[in-house]
Chains A and B, each alone.
Chain A
Amino acid sequence: MKIHCSTEHLAERLATAARATSTRASIQVAAGVRITATSSEEPGELAATDLELSLRVPIEFEVEQPGSAVVPARLAQEVVRSLRSDRVTLEADPAGGRVQITAGTGVYGIHTHPVDDFPKLPEIDPERVFEVDRAAFTATVERVIRATSKDESRPVLTGALLQIEPGRLTMAATDSYRLAVKETVLTDEVPEPIEAIIPARALAEVTRLATGSGPISVSADRNQIAFGVDGVWLTARRIEGQFPNFRSLRPEGFEHEVRLPRGELADVVRRVGVFARHNAPLRLGFSNGEVSISAQTPDVGEARETIPAPFGGEPFEIGFNVDFLRDGIDTASGDEIVFQLISPLRPAVVTGTEDDFWYLIMPIRLST
């Protein structure tokens, strides 16, 4: 393999592909990026996979000699992005084991991983590909992704449930302390409905790729789901298992419904929340015409602020984890948020006023 490429283009494409590499995976080649050069007529490809996630990234280069090589991602990136000349040449040693990078007077020899060790990447069946609106997709991901769980012992919760059906895109995520659900109107044609649990990391990578415009391609089979963004294909292993029946978790009725100005509430929660450290709860005390927001951490300090609220009825106090509450307030939309409450030990629901999003949050039991 011998190719000539724009240094800037190569650096940018390498950085994209490297997102799917891992130095922690069980196989060494997972830390590498495979460069494939077929001919100058076809675009080349960079590919990387850590076995959970894989990326195929098209790249423009001039092919002097077709072939392929697997370069260690981090080292190749470090070299290429620090080069000062505009063009760079990559040449694989015919005997294998090395790639030589030449730029200006600089010559860099990199030890490579065996191409044969590189895992077979999932194929995408062009027949099954359909398109969804990019903005609708990324906006939906952003509303729920923070509620995914980091606890690997419950794999189902480490992903978000994705439902694509005619007219509607739904995503739901829960770490069992809160649950975020976003429904978005979809005008794209959906050939067959999809319901899949997608690893949070894959969704985050898709939104990272999807900064431009134009639709996102989607293709799913039993084990994999693939997203195509501007020619880049990201494939992720679907998480097996049954996602909780999230609609049934939303209480059917509430005792209180309180509308609060979103910006002001967010500010107060941020300020007072400074004093809710080490898992100390943020307390919301509802009483006639106001809500007081307070927090106290032993040996740190305490804070309290009050904002007017259209609340009537028996006063009560409910505690929340400040980060969970803040995520809900931040991801709801509109100038106002609506708190739906039952009692101090029952779930509360936060919604915005502008679109179809709800965020259920479990309280913290208050000791006094």
Chain B
Amino acid sequence: MGRVVAHLDLDAFFAAVEVLEHPDLAGLPVVVGGSPDGRGVVATASYEARAFGIHSAMSAAEARRRCPTARFVRPDHGLYSRHSRRVWTLVEASVPLAEQVGIDEGYLDLTGAVATAGDADRYLRALQQRILAETGLSASFGCGTSKVVAKIASDREKPRGVTVVAAGREATFLAPLRLRVLPGIGPKTDERFQAAGLATIGDLAALDDAALARLVAGAVGPELRDRARGIDPRPVTLPGRAQSVSVEETFERDIATAGEVREIVLRMADDVAERLARDARGAQAVTVKLRYPDFAIATRSQSAAAPFSGPEEIARLALLAVDRALAARRPPVRLVGVGVARLVDAEQLRLPLP
């Protein structure tokens, strides 16, 4: 499997946070948004509320007509940001590369971390389980060889779904879907395509250049058709400067003892220190990641009160972290990773204490 991109989408995120904060809302139709007495609109509806046909962007008044017993909650964006931060902190520590694109969604690059579609499925289910266990929030994942396939796939089996599209199956997966689910096709474009007799993504994918040019002017057309074919070269990128530096390695044979794991961690701590020094930056946390033969992933982070960059400090914190992980579950392990996170431009020097 070449490039592996996953899309993470938190399920009914605002409503889910409200239920977390107010457990008495659990199981009830919850509508987060404006007031149903005014001209408010629905931001998010819980799945219980969706059963009544309530959806985002619907007027809150209409939502109340459909479900008079729904509980209406005004959005608290500060609260959602805090919960979002918790999820992304966990995700960033767990995957090689993560790009958050919204408060409740983002892309993960899993290239190198998983080998087959089955791997990806297990990997993402384990991550989904950890997000649920550690943040109380449920997420759906889509996975494929590109962002567009991953994004569309994550929406197929909500909530708490994992949809992996195997390499080579992209076009087949997309073909029967309504055009409107393709990112970049808004209501206007959809209308124009429908009028031209296109109903599915497959119809768009099959257009020849001339027919395409008649429908959409300029470069947008070929780009949309590429996406309809599952082709999307956009890479998963870090927003702004690197937020973390990490190294990880999957071993051919399982690492059988804690002693060996610790030795590998020490070696990796040196590599990380070197890469950090190249960047002339300091870090505030060290994360260690282990993957077990059953694909379960353990990550542990260790923070310091002030930024550091020296190999001794990274090694010290990494060992503390790996010992905590190994205390929870012993080797064998299949993968070991060490990273530093929360990077800053300054390095706080320390006293040479024993």
Listed in ascending order, the chain A residues whose CB lies under 8 Å from chain B are: 149-151, 153, 157, 174-177, 179, 242, 244, 249, 278-281, 319, 321, 345, 347, 360, 362-367
Contacts of B344 in A (CB 8 A): 278-280
A279 in complex: contacting residue of B302, B306, B317, B351, CB < 8 Å: B306
Give Cα A360 to B307, complex, Å.
18
Q: Which residue of B lies closest to A245 (CB)?
A: B354
Contacts of B347 in A (CB 8 A): 364-365
Q: Decide: B353 and A363 in contact? CB cutoff 8 A.
A: no
Q: Decide: B346 and A149 in contact? CB cutoff 8 A.
A: no
Total number of A-B contacts with CB less than 8 angstroms? 63
Q: Decide: A321 and B345 in contact? CB cutoff 8 A.
A: no
Listed in ascending order, the chain B residues whose CB lies under 8 Å from chain A are: 280, 282, 284, 302, 304-307, 316-317, 320, 344-354
Q: Decide: B354 and A321 in contact? CB cutoff 8 A.
A: no
Instruction: Using A175-B305, A279-B306 as known contacts, say yes or no to A319 and B346 having CB atoms under 8 A apart.
Output: yes
Contacts of B302 in A (CB 8 A): 153
Q: Decide: A362 and B353 in contact? CB cutoff 8 A.
A: no
Chain A nearest Cβ from B118, distance in angstroms: 39
Contacts of B284 in A (CB 8 A): 279
Q: Which residue of A lies closest to B316 (CB)?
A: A153
Contacts of A281 in B (CB 8 A): 346
Give Cα A366 to B282, complex, Å.
11
Contacts of B351 in A (CB 8 A): 174, 176-177, 179, 244, 249, 347, 360, 362
Q: Decide: B280 and A321 in contact? CB cutoff 8 A.
A: no
Q: Decide: B346 and A151 in contact? CB cutoff 8 A.
A: no
Give Cα A179 to B349, complex, Å.
13
Q: Decide: B320 and A367 in contact? CB cutoff 8 A.
A: no
Q: Decide: A279 and B353 in contact? CB cutoff 8 A.
A: no
Q: Decide: A362 and B349 in contact? CB cutoff 8 A.
A: yes
Q: Decide: B354 and A244 in contact? CB cutoff 8 A.
A: yes
Give Cα A150 to B303, complex, Å.
11
Q: Decide: A364 and B348 in contact? CB cutoff 8 A.
A: yes
Contacts of B345 in A (CB 8 A): 280, 367
Q: Which residue of B lies closest to A154 (CB)?
A: B353
* Residue of B280, B282, B345 with most chain A CB atoms under a 10 A cut-off: B345
Chain A nearest Cβ from B304, distance in angstroms: 7
Q: Decide: A149 and B305 in contact? CB cutoff 8 A.
A: yes
Give Cα A174 to B348, complex, Å.
14
Contacts of B350 in A (CB 8 A): 176-177, 362
Q: Which residue of A lies closest to B281 (CB)?
A: A367
**10 sampled A-B residue pairs with Cβ under 8 A:** A151-B304, A279-B344, A280-B346, A360-B351, A362-B351, A364-B346, A365-B346, A367-B280, A367-B345, A367-B346
